[in-house]
Structure 1
Amino acid sequence: MHGAGCSTTTRTTPQTPSGPPGPTPRRRADMTRFTRRTFAAGSAATLTAAALAACSFDRGTGGGEGEDAPRDIHWLGWGGTTWNQNFNLFSPTGVNVTPGTSFVYEPLLRVDRSTAGELLPHLAESWEFNDEGTELTFTLVSDVTWSDGEPFTAGDVKFTWDLVLAGKTPNSYPFASVEAPDDQTVVVTYDEPSFADLVGFATRQIVPEHVWAEQDVRTWTNPEPVGTGPGVLASFSPQQIAFDLREDYWGGAPSGPNKLFMHAVTGDAAKQQLIDGTLDVGGTGWENADEEFVALDPENNVYTFFPVGTADGLIFNTTQAPYDDVHVRRALRAAVDLAIAAEVAAVGYSVPTFAGLDATVFSEMLAEDQEQSQDIEYAKAQLEEGGWTVTEAGKLEKDGETYELRYDVYQPYAEWVTTGQILADQWNETLGLTVAVNKMADAPFTEASSIGDFGMLSYSPFGGSMPYDMFATMSDLQFTPISEQAIWNYGRFQNEEYDELVHELGSIPAGEDAERSRELIIRIQEILTEEAPFIATATAGWKLVANEQNWTGYPTVEGGFDYGPNGTVPADGILTVMNLEPNS
């Protein structure tokens, strides 16, 4: 669920597979280039071409010789130490979605991770906008079946998106309608030019109409999911989920594992199980992984980092005092030295720009003066300008009102907890503020973030891999009032000029008017710098921790893969597990 960053890899020993990384499933690369308005990337893609509690279980074995050899892979799960059996993508209120849905449900498109901008086919083999950017037509891959054997058709796509358009889910889509003129064709209609929305279809997973049609998606938990993906639920317990990987999967049979186990293990227990090979792979950040993991077995132990160009950070609730005052937000941002936090976390992070971009990935479109650095005098001046004082008890005071500061951090991410405590210590040292670091488990954190029940929150300020896709997540397109469930813009940031710029950016077709696109992107960064709705604490990215005793062929930045090792992202997790090979 949570985000990700950019930096250099932290692996010390290059791990080059002895040969190709496993056969790419059929149909994957059938349609990778299109004509002038049959887009393979969203708006401004040309600008971003350079961007980019312990439990016990039976381990069995991984790769092996012979047809009857066990072919299990054990993946470190996410979202806490216990899970509810809920595979409803649209997450009934108060019930978290179970890890693993990305191995079951698939989108029409996927992002090419080697370019962080180009889009590639998945359930759709081609797509085309009209000249106005108001109508988008998809042609679906043929002969795709659901895991229960029923055919996948355009009717399933229309049914899924109609659920959202009808307001039956917490999601929202920017298009006005969807039609299915035949079984292989889907037509999406917009009220205004929306070329840049194409990238959104890389995360809009499709559900089967014949299973979901009679259900109330607001309350149903979908305990036995049916999807087009390779994952078929084999067993479930609160600490372990098992998926059979389909031999009849439309993208091709698995190259290596045929069963995927996901385990609810965290902290030191997870690290130990990765060290001893009980777990094969995970996406956790590991402080000092080079010494504590890679060096123990350089031939098999891998720790690497996939940059995505954006940032993790601290989000301010801009509707709640004292964080509704820009002077407070600027002061808290200027008072900290983020380089110290990145160095201590030691998981591959570096310091992003004020506007939350990776300066290397987006070097060609950065606004001026974007390098973050500590400025204690400026921080104090901002508090004074806003009429704020710090009490002896470390509280903020203004007009007779005092405010205690609290930073809610996501407990399962150790590096976020570490960073949170470093920031709290620095605020105390530089400004005399006392900030409580409140570590929250997955369920309460998810609830608090979505309804805006926080003051300061650890999260990724925005998502996506292209400028419009990223900035739109903080615009009015994703705004919901406090207490209503949000998908993005958790801090309820509002700025009229910002919204207008984002809308204009989204109206520019890919490859056209690059100069104006760059102007818009720079001004958007300036607004984010001025308004400080977040503190971008670390470049975001996907971590890969893998013990390759049993399976090899995990994607790596240097390996040239067009997908990344993230089990929470539709298509990427599937491609990772389906292309692994036995480590013979």
Structure 2
Amino acid sequence: MKKVIAGAMAASLCLALGACSTEGGPGSSPEGDAPRVLNQVGWGGTTWNQNFNLFSPTGVSVTPGTAYIYEPLIRVNRIAAGEMMPYLAESWEFNDAGTELTFTLRDDVTWSDGEPFTSADVKFTWDLVLSGETPASYPFTSVETPDEHTVVVTYEEQSFQDLVGFSTRRIVPAHVWENQDVRTWTNPEPVGTGPATVSQFSPQQITFDIRDDWWGGESKGLDQLNMHAITGDATKSQIISGQVDYGTFGWANAQQEFVDLAPETNFYGFYPVGTADGLIFNVEQAPYNDVHVRRALRAAVDLETAAEIVAVGYGVPSEAALDPVVYADQLAPNSEHRYDPEYAQSELQAGGWTVSDGQLVGPDGQSHSLRYDVYQPYDEWVRTGTILADQWQRNLGLEVAVNQMADAPFSEASTTGNFGMLSSSPTGGSTPYQVFNSLGEETYVPLGEQAINNYGRWQNEEYNAIVTELAGIAPGSDDARARELSIRAQEILIDEAPFIATATAGWKAVINGQHWTNFPVPGEDDYAPNPTLPADAALTIMNIEYRE
């Protein structure tokens, strides 16, 4: 067993990472030549259709588990923001203008049917998209293959920051797909470069066999994976009993309800993605167009307490909405969240604001009733909103209504800007450029028009110039300047307070660790146990080890 969480970390994570193996009945261990099996919680409902077509536009949902089958050329380092790592491609290089990107492929990769993986497969896959045969779209304009292991993509303009996109652009086999109509084909028996093949399928369970000829090496113990279509309370009960071993879902009070039942083997962990969830201010609507109000509302909330009460495993991000683990070497100084009710009150006073009968009264004498619109399906967002409202009342005397919204009205309000305060993710992306660009001028649209990012309509000229300069830096070419720009962007976000970053964003994992160990450790390993993430999913199942 390689990874054990002990000592000081045991108080929060409590165990050696693991999951149990079953063969025949729940919780049974393999005997003799019986396969070692991981039972995993699936997703996407209680029944599945057999459709492994990544580009399926038929209206039939793609079956879970494709990340175990189809793989990308590169992967993202999950604990070092912006670092790209080799995968099916062993190297890559942009030209000086950022308009041409050349990949050198590994020469030892085969498809699960034994055929070699070559540049022809990459070109075929990307040409499907470029020709409009699929619902997907890519920003490059052409693909060339000088030889079997070289792929060159061309852009119309500088596109250094598109590199991260290749971490999710998975490749399909030309020799299997070329005679199919990808608009209707369901690909029931998928052939991929990944470590798993489909051996059995039913609407409630998929069985994957683990390849012994995967290019990344042999499994460290896993022979077979069963993915089960279970949801709701059944998921928790089957994890507790050991009928299933591993799932990726949020569990409020998991410490008491699950981990404490068997602290040496049960695990509930949170794997950061680098960014944050939180509250977005509509900066084009009073009173949130005043930075003093925004700063006051941010400083008046104790986010550490909120995280402890909500208890789903997240932490407190920086005030610039960055996770301090993933961005450890790029955080602006003194960027941690500042809980200071006295400062909050002084900010209101500096802006000429007072509080009367629970309402915020502006320097012009106008009163404002405050409302926080929260996405109702996300329980932790609703509970966090209630905690924030309670703290605003206690620390500032403000009465803030927490308005729970269903999916359709919430989507309409967020995209059109019809809100004052809204629960959402302030920023997004896997690289510093992506994160900061999600609030840049490219994402701004006026109120009433459909926004994709930057729902709060915040803008800043210096910040936009920083984003533009970041876009022109090729990944890995000038890390010092990129870090300098990143820190300045954070300083602007902290000063301007267009949002309150309430919780680190990330993936959750629930593991019953009776027979399996060596799952990735949160904040330490460069991949995460998320079965929907290309590369990460494969690395997770191939690196777990059986507890003898």
Tell me which interval the TM-score lies in, with the shorter structure as reference length: 0.7 to 0.9
> Does the C-alpha gap of structure 1 residues 464 and 9 become closer, same or farther in structure 2, counting only changes over 3 Å?
farther
Q: Which of 194, 203, 206 is matched with 1:229 structurally?
A: 194
Matching of residues 41-440 of structure 1 within 5 Å: 60=26, 63-67=29-33, 69-79=34-44, 87-89=52-54, 92=57, 97-113=62-78, 115=80, 118-147=83-112, 150-165=115-130, 173-209=138-174, 210-211=176-177, 215=181, 225-235=190-200, 239-315=204-280, 325=289, 333-359=298-324, 361-362=326-327, 364-367=329-332, 370-374=335-339, 378=344, 405-411=372-378, 414-426=379-391, 430-438=397-405
CA deviations over 1:197-238 (Å, ceiling 9, x no partner): 433322222234452775465x87666544322333445556
How far the C-alpha of 1:312 sits from its partner, in A, is 2.7
> Does the C-alpha gap of structure 1 residues 252 and 162 become closer, same or farther in structure 2, counting only changes over 3 Å?
same
How far the C-alpha of 1:500 sits from its partner, in A, is 3.3
Pick the structure with greater CA Rg: 2
- 1:572 is aligned to 2:536: yes
SS in 1 for 2:400: coil
Q: How high is the TM-score relative to the length of structure 2?
A: 0.77
How far the C-alpha of 1:177 sits from its partner, in A, is 3.4
> Does the C-alpha gap of structure 1 residues 437 and 234 become closer, same or farther in structure 2, counting only changes over 3 Å?
farther
1:431 aligned partner, one-letter code: L
Q: How high is the TM-score relative to the length of structure 1?
A: 0.73
CA deviations over 1:1-54 (Å, ceiling 9, x no partner): xxxxxx97764545289xxxxxxxxxxxxxxxxxxxxxxxxxxxxxxxxxxxxx
Q: Which of 505, 516, 525 is matched with 1:540 structurally?
A: 505
2:278 aligned partner, one-letter code: G
Cα distance in 1 for residues equivalent to 2:412 and 2:186: 21
Show the counterpart of 1:523: 488
Cα distance in 1 for residues equivalent to 2:441 and 2:42: 33
Matching of residues 409-558 of structure 1 within 5 Å: 409-411=376-378, 414-426=379-391, 430-438=397-405, 455=419, 458-475=423-440, 486=452, 497-510=462-475, 512-557=477-522
Q: CA RMSD in A?
A: 4.6
> Does the C-alpha gap of structure 1 residues 565 and 183 become closer, same or farther in structure 2, counting only changes over 3 Å?
same
How far the C-alpha of 1:574 sits from its partner, in A, is 0.8
- 1:563 is aligned to 2:527: yes
How far the C-alpha of 1:160 sits from its partner, in A, is 3.4
CA deviations over 1:311-332 (Å, ceiling 9, x no partner): 233456778x679846676665
Cα distance in 2 for residues equivalent to 1:453 and 1:159: 41
How far the C-alpha of 1:138 sits from its partner, in A, is 0.8
How far the C-alpha of 1:278 sits from its partner, in A, is 1.2
2:539 aligned partner, one-letter code: L
CA deviations over 1:448-498 (Å, ceiling 9, x no partner): 799679856655443445422432344466679988795x66667665543
Aligned residues: 529
The range that moved more, 103-112 or 243-252, is 243-252
Equivalent residues of 2:417, 2:455 under 8 A apart = no
Cα distance in 1 for residues equivalent to 2:58 and 2:465: 32
SS in 2 for 1:434: strand
Equivalent residues of 2:373, 2:423 under 8 A apart = no
How far the C-alpha of 1:365 sits from its partner, in A, is 3.7
> Does the C-alpha gap of structure 1 residues 315 and 274 become closer, same or farther in structure 2, counting only changes over 3 Å?
farther
Percent identity (aligned): 54
Equivalent residues of 1:63, 1:551 under 8 A apart = no
SS in 2 for 1:298: coil
Cα distance in 2 for residues equivalent to 1:94 and 1:404: 37
